[in-house]
Amino acid sequence: EDQVTQSPEALRLQEGESSSLNCSYTVSGLRGLFWYRQDPGKGPEFLFTLYSAGEEKEKERLKATLTKKESFLHITAPKPEDSATYLCAVAAGGTSYGKLTFGQGTILTVHP
Amino acid sequence: EPEVTQTPSHQVTQMGQEVILRCVPISNHLYFYWYRQILGQKVEFLVSFYNNEISEKSEIFDDQFSVERPDGSNFTLKIRSTKLEDSAMYFCASSPPRQRQSGSGANVLTFGAGSRLTVL
C-alpha angle with apex B104: B91 to A7, nearest 5 degrees? 55
Q: Which residues of A touch B108 (CB under 8 A)?
A: 34, 46, 49
**Mean pLDDT confidence for B67-75:** 90
Please check whether residue A72 touches B, CB under 8 A. no
Distance CA A4, CA A87 (A): 10
- Any idea which of A10-14, A47-51, A95-99 has the lowest mean pLDDT? A95-99
Average pLDDT over residues B67-87: 94
Residue type for position B51: N
Could B108 and A46 be called an inter-chain contact, meaning their C-beta atoms sit closer than 8 Å? Answer: yes
| CA–CA separation, A11 and A22 (whole Å) | 11
For chain A, give the number of residues: 112
Please give the single-letter amino acid code of residue B102.
S
Q: Which of B7, B43, B95 is the mutation pick for testing A, counting most A CBs within 10 A?
A: B43
Q: How far off is chain A from B58, nearest CA to CA, in Å?
A: 9
Q: How many helices (H) and strands (E) does chain A have?
A: 0, 11
Report angle CA A83, A24, A80 to the nearest 5 degrees.
Answer: 10
What is d(CA A94, CA A104) in angstroms, rounded to the nearest whole number?
Answer: 23
> Residue A92's pLDDT is what?
87
* Residue A84: band (very low, low, confident or very high) from pLDDT cuts 50, 70, 90: very high
Rounded distance between C-alpha atoms, residue A15 and residue A78, angstroms: 5
User: What is the model's pLDDT at position B72?
Assistant: 77
**What residues in A contact B50, CB-CB < 8 Å?**
96-97
Give the confidence band of B103 by pLDDT, cuts at 50, 70, 90: very low
Q: pLDDT band at residue A1, thresholds of 50, 70 and 90?
A: confident
Provide the mean pLDDT of chain A: 94
Tell me how far apart the alpha carbons of residues B35 and B6 are, in angstroms, rounded to a whole number.
13
Averaged pLDDT for residues A94-102: 82
Of B48, B102, B111, the CB nearest to A97: B48
The residue-averaged pLDDT of B16-24 equals 97
> What is the mean pLDDT of the segment spanning B13-38?
95
